[in-house]
Structure 1
Amino acid sequence: MNTRPLIAICGTTGVGKSQLSVELALALSRTKGMRKHGWNGARIINADSMQVYVGMDVITNKIPERERQGVEHLLMSFKRPGEQYVVGEWVKDAVHAINETHSQNKIPIVVGGTAYWMQHLIFPDRLAKMTEPRGRAGDIVLSEELLEHVSKLPQELRELIYALPEEPPDASIDPQAAFCLHSLLNALDPIVASRWHWKDTRKVLRSLEIIKETGRRPSDVWSEQSSISVQPRYHTLCFWLYAEPSVLNVRLDARVDEMIKQGLLDEIKELQAIATAGTSSNSVDYTLGIYQSIGYKEFHHYLNSPNPSVDAFEAAVDRMKLSTRQYAHRQVRWIRNKLLPAIYAAQSTDKSCVSVYLLDASRKLSMLISWLRFTC
């Protein structure tokens, strides 16, 4: 484990993670040379999979420039809308940003709602790696059980495992190819297939590639990895901001209303223009890149209707509010069921390697922020 520090701030959307990260960075800057920590301030590293894209500040809920108070934010607004950027790429970029921050004698603060990304940053060797084929170059060496499953497949699927596409097909353009890939995965690893929608061709194809590279089911690989205690990359202090659903849901609904006032629909129209440029179709794959942002799919029918009505607008608003609340629920579930068990497993062998604290965000964070400003 690298003994250099890392601060991680996770939690659902709408709990004040960005505000806390800025105040914490400012507090560390104010205390440089005054306290025993010896660091010259901090830099913030974005861990939100939607905020990596240029523009689209409203739909992705980026912290406004004026609220950053001069604190440097990394890995934010540097990818083009429509460009793919996956967890392995982000982890590599985040590690580079963290090392660069340490070289400046500053503390990296990683903050964002994509807990999946954050977990793979904190704990290394959890992502399936590209491997050399285990036979001759180009051979696929499957386990005996998988070979038996493959032998019983229809010829079309049996041939597909040996001729996977280099790029995932666009489900909106070639749904047959997308569905065939998912059918193949479902035949070989139904546990993983149940996790991915058949239109999410990027994840489906990557799961099939793991089978091709390792000769094993992805579900078996991941189960084996989860049973092994992995030490964190850095000496990690993790804050989980949590708000009770009864409080958070009201806050999230109000934020959707505010996003609409700030120009949400104009951003969605801009995204639609980018997504359909050079095509004759308004069909968009909502599983790719920034098009996964909540609000884009929910307002599609309203914005593309020849006669949009007030009822259609209100229905779209209600769908976006529901999707936001559901997303927050999934974020909590990941932290509870994935991130925390990984932290506790690491603590079982070294209690000091990673610490986690639950912060009550049911109320505004003004008291905590005031304390930071007063004591620092």
Structure 2
Amino acid sequence: MALPKLIVILGTTACGKSGLGVELAKHVGGEIVSADSRQVYRGLDLGTGKVTEEEMDGVPHHLLDVVSPNQSYSVAEFQRDAYAAIDDILARGKVPLLVGGTGLYVRAVAEGYTFQESQPDPVLRAQLERKSAEELYAMFRAQTGRTLSGGEEKNRHRLVRTMEKLLSGDSLTESPRVPRYEVLQLGMTYPRDVLCRRIDERLQKRLDDGMIEEVARLRAEGATDAFLEGLGLEYRYILWYLTGKLSSQDELFDELGRAIKRFAKRQMVWFKKDRDVLWLDTEGAPLSQAIQAADAFLRG
């Protein structure tokens, strides 16, 4: 029996995935499911590059703003919610598009990872919360023999939750994989020099639009420094600026810009491992290429 079809748009930060997703969704009659580990949080808008209502251009988006700051949200929970959203889109005769840059989220849905749930252990959680991201990642590697990339190895918030599961006797398992959908994966990135310029331009615009004020507001509304630190990149570095670890906005721009570029490089390493991605020519006509590939995929 044929599997239902899912279009995935993946790639590095600052490469235009969201815009391409909207245009392709309008062409195929689709709806978008976000695959971003930070955009699931309410109030994290500028720092995550969350698509605005105007940018959505009438295309429904799912799995944005689904949990509050300080709450844990695992990849297994994302997979469950993404499956529900995708199946609902399919049931209404629309085409689902999974769009995002969190590699583990994309693979969990596209490849059908299998996860086991564990019950919360408050004592263990308290012990883990006292450890740094580096210590947690070392524990993860010792327990699993696996490495993480794409920023996952520095995401303290998620590492705490993952180690809680592993040490409480359950296992984070990705085997056997049970694909739920037939998948077309479209990839987006730019040459390194172009991508670095786009990252700098986008970072300056977000700072001008109030990204520092967004982080200050989140803290005032109760988001903990540990939570913001665990989000990495924009939220970690702006927290450091607000608490005096970075002395000026110029230093913030320089340090954060370098961190985002390192993150984009790790993303590319992660995504390049998958040979089933059709990489679009972003400096040519990526939308035309995406439309041609999607039309053939949906017909076939």
CA distance 1:293–1:102, shift in 2 (3 Å): same
Higher-Rg structure is 1
Pair 1:169-2:126 in alignment: yes
Structure 1 counterpart of 2:198: 251
Pair 1:332-2:253 in alignment: no
CA distance 1:60–1:364, shift in 2 (3 Å): farther
User: 1:238 deviation in Å?
Assistant: 1.0
1:305-347 per-position Cα deviation (integer Å, ceiling 9, x unaligned): 49x86xx22111111101111111111111123xx15x4xxxx
Runs of 5+ in structure 1 lacking a partner? 29-40, 133-163, 278-282, 344-355
Contact 1:193/1:204 (<8 A) preserved: no
Q: Distance in 1 between matches of 2:180 and 2:161?
A: 27
Candidates 214, 219, 224, aligned match of 1:267 = 214
Q: CA RMSD in A?
A: 3.6
Structure 2 counterpart of 1:301: 240
Structure 2 counterpart of 1:80: 68
Q: Secondary structure at the match of 2:58?
A: coil
User: 1:169 deviation in Å?
Assistant: 2.0
Q: Distance in 2 between matches of 1:302 and 1:327?
A: 20
Percentage identity across aligned positions? 26
User: 1:300 deviation in Å?
Assistant: 2.4
**Residues 72-81 or 294-303, more deviating:** 294-303
Structure 2 counterpart of 1:202: 161
Q: Distance in 2 between matches of 1:89 and 1:8?
A: 19
User: 1:71 deviation in Å?
Assistant: 0.6
User: 1:115 deviation in Å?
Assistant: 1.6
* 1:295 partner letter: E
Candidates 360, 364, 371, aligned match of 2:281 = 360
Contact 1:196/1:203 (<8 A) preserved: no
Give the TM-score normalised by the residue count of structure 1.
0.66
Q: Distance in 2 between matches of 1:57 and 1:68?
A: 14
Candidates 306, 313, 326, aligned match of 2:249 = 313
Structure 2 counterpart of 1:159: none
TM alignment of 1:25-64, pairs within 5 A: 25-28=25-28, 41-64=29-52
Candidates 175, 181, 198, aligned match of 1:234 = 181
CA distance 1:368–1:189, shift in 2 (3 Å): closer
Contact 2:32/2:99 (<8 A) preserved: yes
CA distance 1:273–1:333, shift in 2 (3 Å): same
Pair 1:129-2:116 in alignment: yes
Runs of 5+ in structure 2 lacking a partner? 294-300
Count of aligned pairs between the two proteins:
287
Contact 1:242/1:362 (<8 A) preserved: no
Give the TM-score normalised by the residue count of structure 2.
0.81
